[in-house]
Structure 1
């Protein structure tokens, strides 16, 4: 296992990475760190590999995401960190950490998928950190960051049908139901039904004063 954050990746490594992370790279704004009431969102580092692999190697997490494999090992985490750090435009992908302790609890980011005009929010937490409102807090911060880019008029988000916690996070962040569709779950190597949500700039502007308290919920 290597952490090659400052080195050129081979085509083979690029292909592996493209299959093993939950987020793509797309520049939104040049923000390397975001601080909220309880969280610090920062770029993943080589020292984070063990923690990321420990959190992600969980079927309860992977089965709710599109592109997280299972099992998820240290090499998968290293590939993820390498990809994020390879490009300057990786500043929109973050490790979610608790400000008080510095411990990593998950990852999040804003991406643009191939063939789509809209940028999409994504997030996941280690199971032991569910139920504390951390994902909602991180989502609010990401949304605010994204709309600092004046060219962005809307964002999309999706969740697996039946993932009520993720749906609630999107709703609490201002996203409105758009449609249903079919996604792909890499961990299960199968298709899955999803709900698609959209947040328009005008709605975001009306909700700028996000709640300062976060209800306990399963995330």
Structure 2
């Protein structure tokens, strides 16, 4: 499968089994996973049997994936991944935006750059009507990426956490960007 999307500095491409080591390293960095599962490690078996199959799933409404490996364009270095996934298998109307990047990529604008490019592609080529994103209320870095990508705060809510992690007592937040609001910005 060819590249899904390119920006000035990023290539977003389909995942492959060869990405297992990259995913294992990413999901075993306690700081990367801090707001996902409290920083607990992920086993290689979980990467192979749960994580990778989710990342290579094709959505019928698009005939393509909803998760994309992110590489630095000039070096090919694996940076992490982006999610731009329809919430319903057969409808592209509402998609969830997400990202998980390794620490070396933090603070360099990659998350915002990739998110903006996916949003643009979604609204111009993929029949998306609404982009939504969620994070823990205390995850200020992720919230800032959402805001810089054009999303607006919608609500606070309390998610169903199987195990409480540091900060989960403050709940979660939802952000969104509608096609209409995006068109007013462009």
Bin the TM-score by the shorter chain.
0.7 to 0.9
CA contact (8 A) 1:125 1:135 kept: yes
Q: How many matched pairs?
A: 176
> Residue 70 of structure 1 aligns with which residue?
40
Residue 31 (structure 2) pairs with residue 60 (structure 1)? yes
Counterpart position of 1:166:
142
Deviation readout 1:115-162 (Å, 9 max, x if unpaired) = xx7321111111222111110111111111221356432111112112
**Within-5 A mapping of 1:70-219:** 70-79=40-49, 80-87=51-58, 89-113=63-87, 118-149=94-125, 151-185=127-161, 189-190=163-164, 192=168, 193-208=171-186
Shift of 1:90: 4.6
Between structures 1 and 2, the one with greater strand share: 2
TM-score, normalised to structure 2, is 0.81
Structure 2 unaligned segments of length 5 or more: list them. Answer: none
SS at match of 2:81: strand
Q: Distance in 2 between matches of 1:185 and 1:60?
A: 19
Q: Distance in 2 between matches of 1:40 and 1:95?
A: 8
2:24 and 2:43 in contact (8 A); partners too: yes
- Please, which moves more after superposition, 128-137 or 81-90? 81-90
Note the C-alpha offset of 1:170.
0.6
Corresponding residue number in structure 1 for 2:21: 50
| Distance in 2 of aligned mates of 1:71 and 1:56 | 7
Q: What TM-score comes out, normalization by structure 1 length?
A: 0.70
- Once the two structures are superposed, residues 46-86 of structure 1 have per-residue CA deviations (whole angstroms, 9 ceiling, x without a partner) of 111101110221222223137x9831132233233234335
Paired with 2:118 and 2:26, the residues of 1 have a C-alpha distance of 21
Structure 1: tracts of 5 or more residues without a match? 1-30, 209-219
Indicate yes or no: 2:10 matched with 1:39.
yes
